[in-house]
Structure 1
Amino acid sequence: MNTIGLYVPGTSLPYRIPAGAKLLVLLGVVTVLLVLGDPWVSLGAAAAVVLLYPLFGLAGHLWHAFRPVLLFLAVVAAFHLLLTDAQTAVRVCSQLAAAVLLAGLVTRTTRVSEMLALFERLARPLRRVGVRPERVGLVLALTIRCIPMVAQSWRTSREAYLARGLSGGAHRMVVPVIVNLIRSAEALGAAMNARGID
C-alpha cells in the first residue's frame, strides 16, 4: 500500500479531472477555510474530505494520508489549549487536517507525470528571465523520486542495525542514512553527467 501519498491507480471521478483543476480546488478550499476562520466550517470541511476517500475508492489510504501529521496536530492542539482556547485549537487543527487530507487525495489521484507537465507549463513564462521549464520539471521529478529513496535508505539502515543485534535510539542510524543518500546522490549525478545533463 502506498504510504507516501503518490499515485494510486483508479477510475473514479477525481482521476478524470485535470491536475490544474484539482490544484485550484485545493487552493480554493484552503483559502476559504483560512478567510472564514470558523471552527465549525473547518470541522465540516475536514469531515467532508474524510468521506471523499471511501466515496472515491480510497478508504484504505485514508489512515496513511493522515498518520504523518497526527503527532504534529496533537502538538498544535496542546499548544493552543495551553495558550489560547479550545475553539482556536479546533479551528487550526481542522483546517490543517482538511488541507492535508485534500492534498493527499489530489496526489493519490494524479499521475506524477501529469503533475510535472503542469508545473513545466506554468514555468514557461519564466523562460523570458532565463528559467528553463524543462529543468523545473527535472528538479520536481528528482524531488519526488528522493522521497521514497530516503524512506528506503532508512528501512535498509534499520534492518542492518537490528540484524547486528544493536539497540538504542533511532539517532544512531542518522549517519548511515546520510552516507547512503550521499552515495545515491553521487551515482545520480554521475548518471546525469554521462547523459549530458549539466
Structure 2
Amino acid sequence: MTVLGLYQPGDSLAHRTPAGVKLLVLFCAVTVVLVLGTLWVAVGGVVVSALLYPLCGVRARYVWRMLRPLLPFLALIVGFQVLTGDPWAAVRTCAVLGLAVLLSGLVTLTTQVSTMLALFERLAAPLRHLGVRPDRLALVLALTIRAIPMVTVAWQTSREAYLARGLRGRPHLMVVPVVVGLVRSAEAMGEAMTARGLD
C-alpha cells in the first residue's frame, strides 16, 4: 500500500529496520531533545535528521518537502517569541518541531503503509479483551489514510472544473462538488466492503 505516495523503496538500514524499532527511536530522540532542552542539542538534532535522509537513500529534496508545510507555524512561533523578548526560545522551539517532523517524515518515507498498519494491529491486540477487534481498528486506520489522497483528488477536480468555467473570487462554490464527490466515493467504498463481507 502506497496510497499516500510517500514510501520510497530502498535497501538502506532504515528500510530494513522494523517499524516498531523506528517508532521507538523516533519517540526516544524527540523525548531526549525535549528533556535536555538546550538550543544546541535541538539545532544539532535538526542537522543530523536532515543528513539522515541521503544516508538512508532518500533524496535530499524531501527535507524541504517535509519542512515546507511547517513554515507558517514556525513563523507564528518566531513572531510570538520575539514579541515576548526571547528569540533564543523561538529558535529552540522551531528546532524541536523541525526535528520531530524530519524524523517522522523519514519513518514514513522508509516504511510501507501495510507494514505500519500491521504494527498497529499487533499493538492493538490487548484491546481484544475489551471487545475491540484489532483487525477492524487497522481497517479504520487504513480507510483514514486512504481518505487523505481521496480528499486531495476531489478538491483538485473541483478546482479544475471551477477554473474551466471561468469562475473567480468565489471559492465557496467548490465546496458542494467536493462534498458530493466524497459522499459518492464513500458509498462506492461501502458497497465494495459489503460485497466482500465486511459489515
Q: What is the TM-score normalised by the length of structure 1?
A: 0.92
Per the alignment, do residues 125 and 63 of structure 1 end up closer, same or farther by CA in structure 2, a change over 3 Å counting? same
Q: What residue in structure 1 maps to residue 18 of structure 2?
A: 18
Following superposition of structure 1 onto structure 2, how do residues 45-194 of structure 1 map, counting pairs within 5 Å? Answer: 45-58=45-58, 59-83=60-84, 85-168=86-169, 170-194=171-195
> In structure 2, do the counterparts of structure 1 residues 74 and 14 end up closer, same or farther at CA, with 3 Å as the change threshold?
same
CA offset at residue 54 of structure 1? 1.9
User: 1:5–1:104: 8 Å Cα contact kept in structure 2?
Assistant: no
Counterpart amino acid of residue 168 in structure 2: S
Deviates more, 1:21-30 or 1:82-91: 82-91
- Quick one: which amino acid aligns to residue 163 of structure 2? L
In 2 relative to 1, CA 158–119 (structure 1 residues): closer, same or farther, beyond 3 Å? Answer: same
Deviation of 1:45 after TM superposition, in Å, equals 0.3
Higher alpha-carbon deviation: 161-170 or 35-44: 161-170
RMSD value over aligned CA atoms?
1.7
Question: Following the alignment from structure 1 to structure 2, what is the Cα–Cα distance between the partners of residues 176 and 69?
Answer: 29
Q: Relative to structure 1, is the Cα distance of residues 169 and 97 closer, same or farther in structure 2, using a 3 angstrom cutoff?
A: farther
- 1:169 shift after superposition: 5.5
The letter of the residue matching 2:39 is P
Change over 3 Å in CA distance of 1:39–1:176 after alignment to 2: farther
Deviates most, 69-78 or 141-150: 69-78
Gaps of 5+ in 2: none
With normalisation by structure 2, the TM-score equals: 0.91
**Partner amino acid, structure 2, of 1:121:** R
Structure 1 gaps of 5+ residues are none
Count of residues in correspondence between the two structures = 196
Give, as a single letter, the amino acid of the residue that structure 2 aligns with 1:19: A
Q: Secondary structure at the match of 1:80?
A: helix
- CA 1:24/1:191 → structure 2, altered by over 3 Å: closer, same or farther? same
Counterparts of 2:22 and 2:186 in 1: how far apart (Å)? Answer: 32
Aligned to 1:44: 44
